[in-house]
Structure 1
Amino acid sequence: MAEHENSSSDKKIKFRSISTTADPNYALNRIEDMYLPRPRSKSEHKFKAKEESDDDDSSPSLWEFLGTELKRSYALENDEEQYSARREKVYSFVKIPGEVESFMLYGFMQCADSFFFVYTFLPIRFVLATWAILSKPFQTCFGVNSSLNAAQICDLLKGCILVVCSFLISYVDTSIMYHLIKSQSVIKLYIFYNMLEVGDRLFSAFGQDVIDALYWTSTEPRDRKREHLGVIPHFLFAVIYVSLHAFLVLCQATTLNVAINASNKALLTIMISNNFVELKGSVFKKFDKNNLFQVACSDIRERFHFFILLLIVVIQTMKEYAWKEEILWVLLPDCLMVIGCEALVDWIKHAFITKFNELPTEVYRDYTLSLAYDMAQTRQKNAFSDHSDLVARRMGFIPLPLGVVMIRVFSMSFRINTLESFIIALVAYFTLHSLCVLNNLRILSKACDLIDRHQQVSINDVCLNEEMLRVGVKTLESIGEDDLLFRSQPNIQMEPGNEPAVPILETEGLQRAESEPSLLTAVNGNSLEM
């Protein structure tokens, strides 16, 4: 029995090593080697003998152990590279909020420009397109070709959608909606608000496809085979979408109004804490530069959306209290708390995403440069579409539903029935126009400055940005006003100057990506329209 136990204890599991080497001093590569004594060198034998002789003389005491623990020194300079890298990570972590806010401010201004366009330039363009239709019979009599271009058709469709949806949403009674929402429990309202937020994102993702389908159906060349339902069905789809999305935004604003004006502020606290739950779903995921760019653009759109919702809440509340100034100072702290928590969550989220995924802080400058290319592209003479559509595709921000809601709120909050009120409304409209123009010039000048600096960096770099130079050379030599544009997503993972060499294509089949306009013409102002 004892022999059997000895034989069983001698058995060991053997695993074949992945690497083979003939070196006898090679590191342990088998399980049984863990049980075998490793051969020592001569120096190790001497050290062992000295250690045994010291043990024979005196055994270590407790006081010696405590003294060693208290007097032990640290040699951090032996790992200087690692500690320097960690210090740089701390500095990068601290720099993230500033970089994020710089990027978001530029994107916020683009969303504001797209939103102001609905109330400033779109009505004027709609009137001009309408006049072109009304004057078409007279121009035809004199032999003048007065066919509408694609931009005029799109402006007519946008104006018609805005008018029809504003008329439909005017039948919604916000007072009944307010009391119906206020009568619900806090938990129900919290679930309802989350459902509205999810629905808003889904509507934004699907809505731009509906609007783009309408634009293409109305402007598609007539000599092609018909592969669509027609302009009227697509127009009805767009009207239904904008009306439903506007109603959803109005429900969001009413729910937020109930949360801010409630006496216990319980719903507002839950809604603010809901922003921090977002950290769990995003911080611990893997992101690359392109994915983080989409998240950052979505955060810009969400922040602007919150700003418009809070503006609606302030207008509705001030109207109910006869525009008393003290009510504004009561609402202001809650509104600032909502915006502040939203910004704080964005800072924490982006700081930890860049830390866990080892992304540099300069990545947000690349994102800002991408938005600058979009802005420069929309100001070309023959642009693919207007800037509002491009912002909608990039950030998921569609201004038409918010425009319908704001028309509904302003029409119920302000009455123009006297000469003084008409003059005030006229002054406010021209002020809005001035603000839109100033904002437009500011973001356009910022775009030109960023593109100019990017071009200088690319030219001075060892590896020239051949793609940008190729586009610029072709623009100067062979691009005409009738060349077509196509959309492409810029590869922001490539650092400036590290783009792969692009072979020279034939001039006849070469096209320019819409998201990367000609740098030379954009900087010189030859293709920008102020």
Structure 2
Amino acid sequence: MLYCLSDRHSNLSHGNSATRTKILAPAASLCSYLHGELRRGYRLEEQRYEERRAKFYAFFRIPRELERFVGYGFLQCADAFLSVLTLLPVRFTLAAGFLGARMLRRRRLQPAEACDLLKGLVLLGTWLLAAQVDTSMLYHIVKSQSVIKLYIFFNMLEALPRPLQVADKLFSSFGQDILDALLWTATEPRRRRAHRRLGLLAHLALALAYVLLHCLLVMLQATTLSVAINSQNKALLTIMMSNNVSLSRWESASGQLPKTDPISSLQFVELKGMVFKKFAKNNLFQMACSDVRERFHYVVLLLVVIVQTMREYSWRQEQLWSLLGDCLLVLLAEVMVDWVKHAFVTRFNAISWQVYREYLTSLAYDLASSKLRTAPSDHGDLVSRRLGFTPLPLAALVLRVLAFPCSVRLAVLAYLCAKVLLNLVLLTRACSLVEEHRQSLMGGTSPDTETEGPEAE
């Protein structure tokens, strides 16, 4: 016979020690115990499990909402980038003509004309100076280095697209401040010129130096990426994708890595460094903007690598299919990392998937406001401040590498058609998002779209 504490007398008073007596009562039989364990019923807590299921569904909805935001931000970066390649040269030529005409009349240029003239000078100067760099020699210099040296070298450059973004903060955030200082110095009212510490020429020289250094750094990164993709040994490509390969695997004598499949060694340090951090909505917006900029940066670099390689192989179709496999592998790795990273960040910080719609609406308002007659800035400058994307260095690199793979007229026409089509698509989508937001405001269910951008700090 089994004995247990009686339920009726188990909850005894703690104040009277004399009553703390164990009262044994006969318990159920073993068969009854087993029957109760096997057939015992229970009811799930409705609210608790409903919340868990909602979190589960939201976890898999994050990638779709993220890609909507990233896709729209990517198109905005492409639009600003193509504006530099197509509209800026035309506006620069017109501004130069207006400058000559107004110098005879002793009149100043309009602020927009002065900005176009200075941007054109910076882009033209960077292109001419970057054209002096022999990319073929640079490729062979990088290729002749050992994998260990290239690993260290790429880690220095790979700070650009990684979450910490030390180099990117230096060359993008501070660089955008340099460009903004140049434009304001050229257009500020005369009564405020006493606050200047540097003249216009000094600001122009600093802006040219920044864009040139940033362009050279991106050129080095593209060259290293080209070496990794075109190499027979895919170890360097593995390092660039994982960025966390143990030094103990290296063969110190030869300085080479074993031949490994890139997929099998992906360790994704980005996840380890970002998933378990504390994030607010504004911090998540900054991270999402960084992912947009990173995605576009990689696409441009891979485009440069493909065109350079195809030119060396006389545009053979077999080489193109070989290149596309590695390029798609790099992009797929970036996309998968972004999905997992944002899914877990939103889960651990209890952030709803609807926040990405707020971010998307914020980008739409930026684009719509830039088309007003009283717009305070150009759309490209708004994209630079909101997403942290500076198109001038990348544009100079593309002009250096991709400007003449075919006839100049065909290239300009293709860039211009792509620019016009992108701008129309973006404007249509922006108007639709703004109208949806205004309708939700009237219905009293509007999310807060006053989300600060990465440069709003």
TM-score range (shorter-chain normalised) is 0.7 to 0.9
Are 2:359 and 2:451, in contact at CA under 8 Å, matched by a contact in 1? no
After superposition, the C-alpha distances for 1:442-494 in whole angstroms (9 at most, x for unaligned) are 111111111111111111228x99xx9xxxxxxxxxxxxxxxxxxxx93479x
- Confirm or deny that 1:155 pairs with 2:116: yes
Are 1:374 and 1:390, in contact at CA under 8 Å, matched by a contact in 2? yes
Name the aligned partner's letter for residue 195 of structure 2: E
| Match of residue 251 from structure 1 | 220
Name the aligned partner's letter for residue 431 of structure 1: A
1:180 is aligned, of 141, 159, 165, to 141
- Confirm or deny that 1:232 pairs with 2:201: yes
| Match of residue 332 from structure 2 | 340
| Match of residue 75 from structure 1 | 42
| Match of residue 98 from structure 2 | 132
After superposition, the C-alpha distances for 1:498-528 in whole angstroms (9 at most, x for unaligned) are xxxxxxxxxxxxxxxxx9xxxxxxxxxxxxx
The correspondence of residues 24-173 of structure 1 with structure 2, limited to 5 A, is 52-55=24-27, 61=30, 68-69=36-37, 71-77=38-44, 79-136=45-102, 140=105, 146-173=107-134
Residues of 2 paired with 1:383 and 1:291: CA distance?
27
Are 1:200 and 1:249, in contact at CA under 8 Å, matched by a contact in 2? no
**What's the CA shift for 1:197?**
2.8
Are 1:242 and 1:401, in contact at CA under 8 Å, matched by a contact in 2? yes
CA 1:67–1:216: 2 relative to 1, 3 Å: same
Corresponding residue SS for 1:332: helix
1:192 is aligned, of 137, 150, 153, to 153
Are 2:12 and 2:19, in contact at CA under 8 Å, matched by a contact in 1? no
After superposition, the C-alpha distances for 1:420-457 in whole angstroms (9 at most, x for unaligned) are x6xx4313322221111111011111111111111111
| Match of residue 207 from structure 1 | 175
Corresponding residue SS for 2:353: coil
| Match of residue 391 from structure 1 | 383
**What's the CA shift for 1:380?**
0.9
Residues of 1 paired with 2:55 and 2:12: CA distance?
35
The correspondence of residues 448-487 of structure 1 with structure 2, limited to 5 A, is 448-461=431-444
- Confirm or deny that 1:280 pairs with 2:246: no
**What's the CA shift for 1:93?**
0.4
Corresponding residue SS for 1:205: helix
Q: CA RMSD in A?
A: 2.7
Residues of 2 paired with 1:317 and 1:365: CA distance?
39
After superposition, the C-alpha distances for 1:375-423 in whole angstroms (9 at most, x for unaligned) are 0111111211111111111111100000111111125x63xxxxxx6xx
**What's the CA shift for 1:146?**
5.0
After superposition, the C-alpha distances for 1:202-261 in whole angstroms (9 at most, x for unaligned) are 211210000000001111111235222100000000010000000000000001001111
After superposition, the C-alpha distances for 1:59-101 in whole angstroms (9 at most, x for unaligned) are x65x7665554x1445243x11111110010100010110000
Question: TM-score with structure 1 length normalisation?
Answer: 0.73
Name the aligned partner's letter for residue 381 of structure 1: R
Name the aligned partner's letter for residue 235 of structure 1: L
- Alignment: residue pair count: 413
Name the aligned partner's letter for residue 490 of structure 1: E
Residues of 2 paired with 1:125 and 1:193: CA distance?
37
Structure of greater relative contact order (alpha carbons < 8 Å, 6+ residues apart): 2
- Confirm or deny that 1:401 pairs with 2:393: yes
Are 1:132 and 1:146, in contact at CA under 8 Å, matched by a contact in 2? no
Are 1:366 and 1:492, in contact at CA under 8 Å, matched by a contact in 2? no
| Match of residue 428 from structure 2 | 445
- Confirm or deny that 1:217 pairs with 2:185: yes
Corresponding residue SS for 2:192: coil
Residues of 1 paired with 2:277 and 2:299: CA distance?
28
Are 2:383 and 2:389, in contact at CA under 8 Å, matched by a contact in 1? yes
**What's the CA shift for 1:194?**
2.0
After superposition, the C-alpha distances for 1:90-123 in whole angstroms (9 at most, x for unaligned) are 1000101100000000000000000000111111
Residues of 1 paired with 2:274 and 2:17: CA distance?
50
After superposition, the C-alpha distances for 1:283-309 in whole angstroms (9 at most, x for unaligned) are 101111111001100100000000000
| Match of residue 345 from structure 2 | 353
**What's the CA shift for 1:137?**
5.1
Residues of 1 paired with 2:424 and 2:440: CA distance?
24
Residues of 1 paired with 2:429 and 2:139: CA distance?
42
- Confirm or deny that 1:490 pairs with 2:450: yes
Corresponding residue SS for 1:172: coil
CA 1:410–1:491: 2 relative to 1, 3 Å: closer
Residues of 2 paired with 1:88 and 1:257: CA distance?
44
Residues of 2 paired with 1:73 and 1:113: CA distance?
64
Residues of 2 paired with 1:257 and 1:438: CA distance?
30
Corresponding residue SS for 1:393: helix
The correspondence of residues 357-376 of structure 1 with structure 2, limited to 5 A, is 357-376=349-368
Residues of 1 paired with 2:451 and 2:73: CA distance?
19
Max Rg structure: 1
Corresponding residue SS for 1:223: helix
| Match of residue 241 from structure 1 | 210
Residues of 1 paired with 2:233 and 2:33: CA distance?
60
Structure 1 gaps of 5+ residues are: 1-25, 415-420, 469-488, 494-514, 516-530
Name the aligned partner's letter for residue 330 of structure 1: S
CA 1:176–1:76: 2 relative to 1, 3 Å: farther
Name the aligned partner's letter for residue 403 of structure 1: A
CA 1:76–1:382: 2 relative to 1, 3 Å: same
Are 2:102 and 2:109, in contact at CA under 8 Å, matched by a contact in 1? no
Corresponding residue SS for 1:126: helix
After superposition, the C-alpha distances for 1:25-82 in whole angstroms (9 at most, x for unaligned) are x999xxxx6x986979xxxx9xx86xx3314xx7x65x7665554x1445243x1111
Question: TM-score with structure 2 length normalisation?
Answer: 0.84
Residues of 2 paired with 1:248 and 1:121: CA distance?
25
- Confirm or deny that 1:432 pairs with 2:415: yes
Residues of 2 paired with 1:163 and 1:76: CA distance?
72
Are 2:138 and 2:223, in contact at CA under 8 Å, matched by a contact in 1? yes
| Match of residue 380 from structure 1 | 372
